[in-house]
Amino acid sequence: MWVKICGITCEEELEAAVKLNPDALGFVVETKKSRRNILMDRAKKLMKLVPSSISKVVVTLNTKKIKKISEFADYVQIYEDFPLPLKCKIIRGYIFNRFDFDDFKKIENKIDMVLIDSGYGMGKVHDWRFTRRVREKVKKPLILAGGLTPKNVVSAIQQVRPFGVDVSSGVENGGRKDYSLMKEFIEKVRGVKSVT
C-alpha cells in the first residue's frame, strides 16, 4: 500500500517523516488557501533533503507556476486543468463531489494517478462508497485522502481498496506533524493484508 504524508512545512517534520520511510512526502506549494503553504524556494530546499527512495510530491493550485514547480518534483498533484507537458508525473486530485467520469475520461491518459479527497486539507471524511465506485471504474491507481487517521485508515482501506492513502491533518498535533501519529498511521497501513 502506497503511503503519502502530505503538508510537510519544515525540516523537523521532514526528518521525522523520513525516519518512517513513507513512499512519498507532499509539500503544499504556492497555494495561499492552505495553512501548510510554503513558497517555491523553501520547497526546493526541503526537497533536496528527501532521500531518492521517497517520492517528492508538490501539491498546488497555482497553475501559472506549475511548469516551474514541476521541474523539482517527482509528482505534481493538481486539482484543476493544467498545461502540458510537465517535467514530472501527475496526480490529478478531485474533491469527491466534483468528480465527473466523463471529464476524467478526457484526461485519463495524461495522468499517472487519481486522488479523491474531501477538500483541500480539511481533515474531513467523505463517502467512501463513492470513492470505491470511482476506484472500480478508473484504470489509473487511486489514492484515498480526506480525514484519514490512525484510527480509521484500516477501515478506509478495507472499504475502498485503494492503491494508496494520503494523510495530513490526521497525523498532526497542534498543527504540526507528530512523529508518533505518523508512525502509528504507517504501521496500521502496512499491517493491512492484501486488498486486491
Measured from the Cβ of residue 80, the count of other Cβ atoms closer than 10 Å reads: 11
Of 38, 34, 32, the C-alpha closest to 13 is 38
Phi, psi at residue 58, to the nearest 5°?
-95, 125
Amino acid, res. 173: N
* Catalytic residue of the set 10, 23, 100, 117: 117
Measure the CA–CA gap between 60 and 69, rounded to whole angstroms.
Answer: 9
Phi, psi at residue 183, to the nearest 5°?
-60, -45
Of 8, 14, 2, 9, the C-alpha closest to 50 is 14
Phi, psi at residue 46, to the nearest 5°?
-65, -40
Q: 6 an active-site residue? A: yes
Active-site residue set: 6, 117
